[in-house]
Structure 1
Amino acid sequence: MTDLAQVKLAVRPNPGVPFHIVHQDGEILVIDKPAGVVTQPGKGHSSDSLLNGLFSRFGNLLHNMGEKRDYGLLHRLDKQTSGLLVVAIRPRAYDELRADFEKRMVEKEYLAIVSPRPAKPNGIVQARLREITGDYKKVVISPSGQDARSVYRTLSSSGNSALLAVIIKTGRLHQIRAHAKFIGAPVVGDSVYGSGKSATTRICLHAAKLGFRHPATRQWRHFIAPLPADMLAIAKSLNLSVPVEWCQNQPPTER
């Protein structure tokens, strides 16, 4: 393998970007991204994204994936959303997983703290989303938008707040955040789709479970990332009980 010093990498490496490697093999990486880190370089974040951090560890492999394959990125999380991402480090792995994402074969489950709590404790939100442009990207509910479906269930509630588990298949921009607003239960900390007033700048949304067929073996793999400490603290402050499996008493892992 060519030494990093001899290659002008497509993305500037930054070893200071925090992230946790949940799983690594010859085809893929499963990453637990903390809140506050953007997934890829963009306006105002040319060198402090998750991809910059990944390039500091896996620069040659990701560089060789090329821009056409998004340097291995298969999906993204918002800056203030934490949790699991799968990244391909081989072209064949990317192509296999990209096809699975397009066929909606990848399983994604999120945890969200919302307030007010939803009128119905469990439900399905089927509402099309359309992207609009402005100072920043956002979506609105619109008949002309893309199909989007979110299935939620309440794990616990207290007062006017609730901890929800949300399963999505479509993965549209800001899908859970927009759907939460649509049912009158915005995500805590969400200044875009919420009330605009919050005691925390951390959007209380966490990508907690990720399941997919491994691109080489085609066997199902399931990964889980318990709630990070900051979301646990917010849940505690709202008197929300958190199921044991989501408490941060052990690091993210495969299950």
Structure 2
Amino acid sequence: MAKLEFTVPDTLNGARLDKAVVALAPGASRARVKKAIEGGDVRVNGRTLAKGGVVATGDIIAIDEAAVKSGDSPCLPEPEAPLVVRHASAAVLVVDKPAGQPTAPLREGEMGTLANALLGHYPDLDGIGYSAREPGIVHRLDTETSGLVVAARTADAFETLREALKDEKIEKEYLLVCKSEGLPDEGTIEYPIANHPKDKRRVYPCIHPRDVIRYEPRAASTRYQVETRVGPWALVRAEAKRAIRHQLRAHFAALGHPLVGDTLYGGEEVSGLARHALHAARVAWDGEGNKELAFDVVSELPEDMAKLVR
């Protein structure tokens, strides 16, 4: 694609560079704009700006079109799709995703995801988020994980929530069911997690120091406490503020206590449970003084998991 050049108008005088580029470049992806700026691929008057730099009237912004435009096809709205909203403000939505529903589409034209329902009920989410297929969505859940997902209703709210998530300020609690025998009443799991070297469907908890050197994993910490024990199973409340991909599933499997139904990580199949026993039960943030951004939302344990520990 061609090189894009824009002259900053009076209306964007003093604006942050990333916001100015998004406003001036039609179809620009916010996530890709930030990445391009961090990589030094956006120039203002021939020079790069530090993170958080601002522009002034008359400045010339130059950037490759391919560096800022998202290649994603848009998410299609489904206004008639069911959507359980647990919290709504002018800035934030917290919705309850059922097990079996993908968070966002992976293929062009895919329907039936949480993102399709969100966009159908809240058209103003269009253009907000990491990509066109994830309107407003701040974090994902695995398809077979049920529970709470946070979405932003404005671009500013999305950036604030994204930073809060990255800085581990948003509280995220999960309920899971695993084998009870031998599991301590509480503990912290701190195995770093890497992409699996042989199976793209899984992640790899690096238990041995040699694996840390070999695979360059990401840090991951899971705190947990057993809530109740019934027969062979334990209902566990776990906290993982960042919760990288498959973190809880891989961590409990590494302990020798894979989630019930999580056959990918060695969990036992049980009658009446058609997925892994993991539920995002609570999300909370104080908003750091902004009431529109603050939330503390709880989702009850779904019936298919509850009957295991009744």
Normalized against structure 1, the TM-score is what? 0.81
Secondary structure of the residue aligned to 2:105 is coil
Shift of 1:10: 2.2
Taking the aligned partners of 1:25 and 1:45, their CA distance within structure 2 comes to 29
State whether residues 172 and 280 of structure 2, in contact with CA within 8 Å, keep that contact through their aligned partners in structure 1: yes
- Confirm or deny: 8 A CA contact 2:76 2:109 kept in the other structure: no
What is the aligned counterpart of 1:204 among 269, 277, 280? 277
SS for the counterpart of 1:98 is helix
The answer on whether the counterparts of 1:28 and 1:87 sit within 8 Å (CA) in structure 2 is yes
Distance of aligned partners of 1:48 and 1:215 in 2 relative to their CA distance in 1, 3 Å threshold: farther
Shift of 1:75: 0.3
Distance 1:134 1:46, change over 3 A: farther
Q: How does 1:63-82 map to 2 (within 5 A)?
A: 63-65=126-128, 68=131, 70-82=134-146
Structure 2 distance, partners of 1:172, 1:103, is 13
User: Cα–Cα, structure 1 residues 154 and 146, in superposed 2: closer, same or farther, change >3 Å?
Assistant: same
2:48 aligned partner: none
Q: Does 1:230 align with 2:304?
A: yes
Q: CA RMSD in A?
A: 2.4
Q: How far off its partner does 1:136 sit?
A: 5.0
Change (3 A) 1:156 1:121: same
Alignment partner of 1:54: what SS? helix
Give the share of equivalent positions with the same residue, in percent: 30
Aligned to 2:144, what secondary structure does the other structure show? coil
- Shift of the alpha carbon at 1:116? 4.6
CA drift at 1:160: 2.3
Q: Which amino acid aligns with 1:151?
A: R
**Any conservation in 2 of the 1:191–1:198 contact (CA below 8 Å)?**
no
Residue 128 of structure 2 aligns with an amino acid whose one-letter code is M
C-alpha distance in structure 2 between counterparts of 1:48 and 1:215, whole Å: 35
SS at match of 1:65: coil
Offset at 1:94? 0.3
Residue 151 of structure 2: aligned partner: 87
Structure 2 residue identity aligned to 1:210: V
The structural deviation recorded for 1:11 is 1.1
For residues 305 and 289 of structure 2, what CA distance do their matches in structure 1 show? 35
Give the corresponding residue for 1:242: none
The answer on 1:18 being equivalent to 2:82 is yes
- Residues 169 and 52 (structure 1), Cα distance of their counterparts in 2 relative to 1, 3 Å cut: same
Other-structure match for 1:124: 188
What is the deviation of 1:118? 4.5
Q: Secondary structure at the match of 1:48?
A: coil
Compared CA separation, residues 87 and 220, structure 1 to 2 (3 A): closer
Flag the 1:45–1:64 CA change in 2: closer, same or farther, 3 A: closer
CA distance in 2, matches of 1:55, 1:32: 15
**Pairwise mapping of residues 26-175 of structure 1 onto structure 2 (< 5 A)?**
26-43=90-107, 46-59=110-123, 61-65=124-128, 68=131, 70-132=134-196, 137-142=201-206, 143=212, 144-175=216-247
Unaligned runs of 5+ in 2: 1-72, 207-211
Does the 8 A contact of 2:129 with 2:137 survive in 1? no
- Retained in 1: the 8 A contact 2:173–2:238? yes
Aligned residues: 227
CA distance in 2, matches of 1:139, 1:44: 26
Q: Which sits farther off after the overlay, 66-75 or 150-159?
A: 66-75
Given that residues 233 and 308 in structure 2 are in contact (C-alpha distance below 8 angstroms), is that contact kept between their aligned partners in structure 1?
no
Change (3 A) 1:231 1:169: same
**For the Cα contact (< 8 Å) 2:179–2:258, is it kept in 1?**
yes
TM-score of the two chains, using structure 2 as the length reference? 0.67
| CA spacing shift, 1:138–1:21, aligned 2, 3 Å | same
Query: Any idea what the Cα deviations from partners look like across 1:162-195, whole Å, max 9, x if unmatched?
Result: 0000011231101000011011111111111124
Which consecutive unaligned segments of at least 5 residues does structure 1 have? 1-8, 237-255
Pick which of 150-159 and 225-234 moved more: 225-234
Question: Relative to structure 1, is the Cα distance of residues 86 and 133 closer, same or farther in structure 2, using a 3 angstrom cutoff?
Answer: farther
The aligned counterpart of 1:179 is 251
